[in-house]
A and B are shown apart, each in its own frame.
Chain A
Amino acid sequence: MRFSYSWLTEHLKTNAHFEEIEKKLTSIGLEVEDIQDTGKAYQDFIVGQVLEEKKHPNADKLKLCKVDIGKEKVDVVCGAPNVEKGMKVVYAPVGSTIPVNQMKIKAVKIRGVESYGMMCSEYELGISNEHDGIIRLEEKETIGRSFSEIYGLNDIVIEIGITPNRQDCLGVKGIARDLASAGMGELLERKISREKGSFKSPIKIEIQDNKICSAFAGRYFRNVKNTESPEWLKNKLKSIGLRPISALVDITNFVMYDENRPLHVYDADKIDGKIIVRSANDGESFLALDEKDYHLKNGMCVIADEKKVLGLGGIMGGESTGCSTETKNVLLESALFDEINTAKTGRNLSILSDARFRFERGIDPNSTLKGIDLATQLILEICGGECSEVELAGNIKENKNEVSTSSSYISRRLGFEVSDKELISILSSLGIETSQTGDVIKCLIPSWRQDIHGEADISEEVIRIKGYENIPTSNIRLKSKINKNILNYAQKKLMKARHFIASIEYDELVTFSFTDSKNCEVFGDINKLKIVNPISEDLDILRPNLLPNLLQAIKKNKNRNFDSFSIFEIGSQYRSTSPEDQLNVACGIKSGIKTEKSWKNIQTEFDIYDVKQDLTSLIDYLMPGNKKISVSNDCPSWYHPGRSGSIKINNSLIAGYFGELHPRVASQFKIKNKINIFELYLDELPNTEKKNTNKPVLNLSDFQIVTRDFAFVIDKKVKSEEIVTSAFKVDKELIRNVEIFDLFEDDSLGKDKKSIAIKVTLQSNEKTLAENDISEISSKIIESVEKSTSGTVRS
């Protein structure tokens, strides 16, 4: 909401400095967003007259002008097409600053000719978008007069943010009233004469649906002249950024911004019969003042005559009855439209208008007739003519809202003592009438405050006027804890996982929860993930997997010359757009160069064993202690079928995957590198809340450790893990460790064969192992492995 300081002081008698008022506005909840001291910005601009105008010798489109600016005559080079001899112009002298671009005017040579100053367009002065030519002032303007005086710009324009509850401050008067309540002066009542009207309105009004419009006041004016508005009115509107149109329209705009009372004027000669306020019929359409055709639906509030729709109640008038300079007879409307219905209609048709903005927030019912009176006074004064009696259809609600409260309730909510006396005094400053019975204070809410419904609202009014800075500060530390845990197990798991993964060289990314459906069919059912109103076409679904956005990140960073990627994200992915279909996943990618070629190392690349190790050590970290991790080949389709594995913990559900990205998916994302991925479904890790802080018992043996190496030739398709397990199970006590240390594949071993070498570590708890103990267990190991893998030991 924009208003000028001078407009404000028409309603507020105050001795306060502007700076005090500025601070107070913010402190009572009318946040000052911008202040423009237009007097200061325009102080250098004055009226000049073009004495001579001739062609520039070196440029076709430029002209040389001599301009009289009062105290002297100056030469100005001008490019405006409309400059001519005798014209009164706005002159910007050397040293002044052009508002629109902050350019400082200097004496310059333009194509070889000296120019002192500039003649300005409305655009350059930041007044409008008119930049086709320079401003042509009226003939009568005195040379040397300050331009800001003529345009009424010798003022300060204030822009405040109005929160949705403060409908009462959508007019300058309401702002003045709130400032007066907060001790910034006295609210001035505008003297409005109440015209009775000399005849009955020939246009009758009928409300067919009083739910969507509870009251409609109309007044007929005959023989008006819809001229240009007087300067004071034009300047007022211009000061707050509105374009003056014609007196009748300007008057309704003025009343709206002054009293927060939307009005509408109809060209009465274009109305057929009576005014009917009704719900629209499905399929009806009408051409609104914004020159757009709107198709209406049942339930929308229309103002119609007996033949056609004239306007959308509380939102926008129509072209058919719009006023022009020819207009002679008009009907003035001041009505009460339903808030919710106005909001619904406006939203359905996507019409934003000042009227809608006000009606959907609630309008003071008492402004209905006041608005008619103020507009009548101005119409008769500016446009002449005669007015009818006021024709009122429907009822204007008279009874005020009632709220009961007490000083103890207010004190308990605000956190400091407010006495009955102080409470009553603050309320009465706001125009809230009170009556006290015992502790209960009954409040009658004035009609302009549509937002006060309950005791809590009263508490806000009290602290708003008293000042939020007067709220004391209290300690909130508790004597005894109320929450057993700050983070639950699942939350700790996420946090631990994040730090662990970052500690093994991955950079954490946070990407959008949306992604592009185009490349996502492989990851999930994209039809279940659609966003109805996506921000853009390529962010049209909720992500079925963390990978797509991470793959895009790799693509982008590849273009930034990165050749080694270790990135991860922990976040949610979605099975559908139902609230419960959200999963917590950790997804990491290692791709490209693992170790750079250097004086010490040869260059190596990441492969699936890197991500497998990261995944298993992550699981180990999150789930310390004994568990059985098993790996199998059943991976989802975005993995390379031969180079990927799924991980099961304790034979329950699959907790994660690792492997190489399927080449087909990689090429969809236009990625050429091998992408090694791990995914861990964090929700699938059993929630083993710590029950005991003790670690398992530690048994240490001091007897000698012996190691023995074995190599086996087995079929390629047999998993090496099989060797490890079958060796282990020979003697769980003596065999401390089995480790694969060599893999050898060569045709010399036989077709589709490989050789796997293991190192077995043996130690007894009772004695030093003798040679015959060792050879006995060695043969058992060979026997067990050969049997379970159908392989043969290499000698």
Chain B
Amino acid sequence: MKDFRELETEIKKASDKFTNIESINEFRIKFLGKKGIISLEMKELASLSGDERKQHAEKLNKIKDTVLEIIASKTEELNSEELEKKLNSETLDITLSTSKSYGTIHPISQVIEEVITIFGDLDFFVAEGPEVETDYNNFTALNTSEHHPARQMHDTFYVETETDGMPNVLRTHTSPVQIRSMLKQKPPIRLIAPGKTFRCDNDQTHSPMFHQVEGLVIDQESNMSHLKGCLEIFLKTFFETDKLNMRFRPSHFPFTEPSAEVDIGYTKKGNQLIIGEGEDWLEILGCGMVHPNVLENVNINSNEYQGYAFGMGIERLAMLKYGISDLRTFFDSDLRWNKHYGFSPLNIPSIIGDLS
């Protein structure tokens, strides 16, 4: 009986000499081609009989499997060698780069959005009013009569149009939005009104245009303690701090009674302002209980309804939170400043994500 040992040795020998895909091909033809050694042997099986045929067939099939296996594994080996070689010649200098830039959101927009986010979470809607206002809405309806000394502190800009015989003004605060909103809507009211305001004053610490946010709550029960609670939660959330020293002290605004100014504690570490802690006080906002005269001016019964209002400077909030030292730089349009202090457009203030 043929033991095919010679054939196996020959296969072994031939399989050691592969250098490329062609030599594998030759190898395949030599053994498995139509006239290949194994194919010829297979043909010869027909002439055998019985057990011998069975045994030869078994053996030959095994050898054929081995040859196929060799072809597969050697092909794989050569392919990956070739790929390796190709990859080695394909390197790029990864230290080179191109750039993709986004634009920036102005710090004033960022802070306004932060403020809206915090108060929105407390169910304050965003109200608006025009920047040119009537004298009545800006002053008189807010319990500031024509000759009230508080008017002189406002350095009002006047324009040439008039309403009811009085020249219109560029609003000196966002408070007239209170009047517009209360005339439109009955209590309960919870609103904030961010926006531009104007005063005829221009120096190191004053800009003729600046931004404020107004807050107003009118219902049957809101009182000074709610005002305190409201501002505490706002300031803590805004300055992203759990510690916050807050001081209320009496002040005067014609449209609130009692009126208060609010200071927050701070310390200075080097050039850094740390908000919340410390013995020094920074004035941050004005507030108070809405004056009954203001409610009566908008036809709300001041015996039934009461509430509070507050107003603060957006630039001041931005300066304290983001360490911007000069008020006037906000409107200077120095692109170096905008690119440095601006925010990513993908940064949308959130209560569940990041505020800033």
**Chain A interface residues (CB < 8 Å from chain B):** 26-29, 31, 163-166, 339-340, 343-344, 347, 360-361, 412-416, 454-457, 459-460, 463-464, 468-469, 471-478, 481-483, 485-488, 491, 495, 498-514, 530-536, 539, 542, 549, 552-553, 556-557, 560, 562, 565-568, 571-572, 574, 576-582, 598-601
A165 to B261, CA, bound (A): 15
Assuming the contacts A499-B348, A509-B333, A579-B133, asked whether A481 and B223 have C-beta atoms less than 8 A apart, the reply is no
Chain A positions within 8 Å of B198 at CB level: 513
Partner of B336, one of A26, A491, A560: A560
CB-contact partner of B147 in A344, A455, A535, A578, under 8 A: A344
Could you tell me if B257 and A539 are in contact, using CB atoms closer than 8 angstroms? no
Q: In the complex, are the beta carbons of A509 and B338 less than 8 A apart?
A: yes
The residue from B209, B260, B345 contacting A503, defined by CB atoms under 8 A apart: B345
Measured in the bound complex, the distance between the Cα atoms of B149 and A361 in whole Å is 7
Flag if B208 contacts A476 (CB, 8 Å).
no
B122 x A476 contact (CB < 8 A): yes
Interface residues of B in 304-356 (CB under 8 A from A): 306, 330-331, 333-336, 338-339, 342, 344-346, 348
Say how far A242's CB is from chain B's closest CB, in angstroms: 22
Asked whether B18 is an interface residue with its Cβ less than 8 Å from the other chain, the reply is no
**16 other contacts beyond A457-B257, A513-B209, with CB at 8 A cut-off?**
A165-B252, A413-B289, A413-B306, A414-B224, A472-B228, A474-B228, A476-B217, A476-B226, A486-B120, A502-B104, A502-B105, A505-B101, A532-B157, A542-B132, A572-B196, A577-B160
A454–B302 alpha-carbon span in the complex (Å): 12
Whether the Cβ atoms of B103 and A501 lie closer than 8 Å is yes
Q: How far is the CB of B101 from chain A (nearest CB, A)?
A: 6
| Complex: chain B residue closest to A477, CB-CB | B122
Residues of B near A495 (CB, < 8 A) are 113
Name the CB-closest residue of A to B225.
A415
For residue B248, CB closer than 8 A to chain A, the reply is: yes
Contact A580 B126 (CB under 8 A): no
Interface segment among B2-10, B79-87, B229-237, B266-274: the answer is B229-237
Contact between chains at A566 and B103 (CB < 8 Å): yes
B205 within 8 A of A: no
Interface contact B153-A502, CB-CB below 8 Å: no
Please tell me if B282 contacts chain A, counting CB pairs below 8 Å.
no
Q: Are B124 and A486 in contact (CB under 8 A)?
A: yes
Contacts of B229 in A (CB 8 A): 473-476
B173 interface residue, CB < 8 Å from A?
A: no
Assess whether A533 is in contact with B158, with CB atoms less than 8 Å apart. Answer: yes
By the criterion CB–CB under 8 Å, are B248 and A469 in contact? yes
- B161, B260, B306: the one contacting A578 at CB < 8 Å is B161
Decide if A542 touches B335 in the complex (CB within 8 Å).
Answer: no
| In the complex, chain A residues whose CB is within 8 Å of the CB of B116 | 486-487
- Which residues of chain A come closer than 8 Å to B44, judged between CB atoms? none
CB 8 Å contact bits of B154-176 with A (1 = contact, 0 = none): 00011111010001101000000
Q: How far is the CB of A582 from chain B (nearest CB, A)?
A: 5
Shortest distance from the beta carbon of B183 to any chain A beta carbon, whole Å: 14
Tell me if A578 and B132 are in contact (CB < 8 A).
yes
Contacts of A499 in B (CB 8 A): 105, 345-346, 348
Asked whether, in the complex, the Cβ of A508 is within 8 Å of the Cβ of B153, the reply is no
The answer to whether A507 and B249 have CB atoms under 8 Å apart is no
Q: For residue A160, give the distance in angstroms from its CB to the closest CB of chain B.
A: 12
Q: In the complex, which residues of chain B have a beta carbon less than 8 angstroms from the beta carbon of A536?
A: 202
How far is it, in angstroms, between the C-alpha of A488 and the C-alpha of B191 when the chains are bound?
13
CA distance A302 to B26 in the complex (A): 127
Contact status B130-A560, CB under 8 Å: no
B212 CB–A CB distance under 8 Å: no
Within 8 A of A (CB), among B248-278: 248-252, 254, 257-261
Nearest CB on A from B318, distance (A): 11
By a CB distance below 8 angstroms, the chain B residues around A413 are: 223-224, 258, 289, 306
Which of A486, A498, A512, A574 has most chain B Cβ within 10 Å?
Answer: A486
Q: Is B134 an interface residue (CB 8 A)?
A: yes
A477 to B232, CA, bound (A): 13
| A504 engages B103 (CB within 8 Å) | yes
In the complex formed, the residue of B with least CB distance to A464 is B250
On chain A, the residues within 8 Å of B89 by CB distance are none
Interface residues of B in 119-138 (CB under 8 A from A): 120, 122-126, 128, 130-134
Query: Contact: A463 with B147, CB < 8 Å?
Result: no
Tell whether, in the assembled complex, residue B335 and residue A560 are in contact, meaning their CB atoms are under 8 Å apart: yes
Tell whether, in the assembled complex, residue A415 and residue B333 are in contact, meaning their CB atoms are under 8 Å apart: no
Q: Collect the chain B residues with CB atoms within 8 Å of residue A347's CB.
A: 147, 152
Q: How far is the CB of B169 from chain A (nearest CB, A)?
A: 9
The reply to whether A456 and B289 contact each other, CB–CB distance below 8 Å, is: yes
Task: Assess the A530–B335 pair: CB atoms within 8 A.
Answer: no
User: Smallest Cβ distance from B276 to chain A, in angstroms?
Assistant: 16
Give which listed residue, B109, B208, B289, B339, contacts A514 with CB less than 8 A. B208
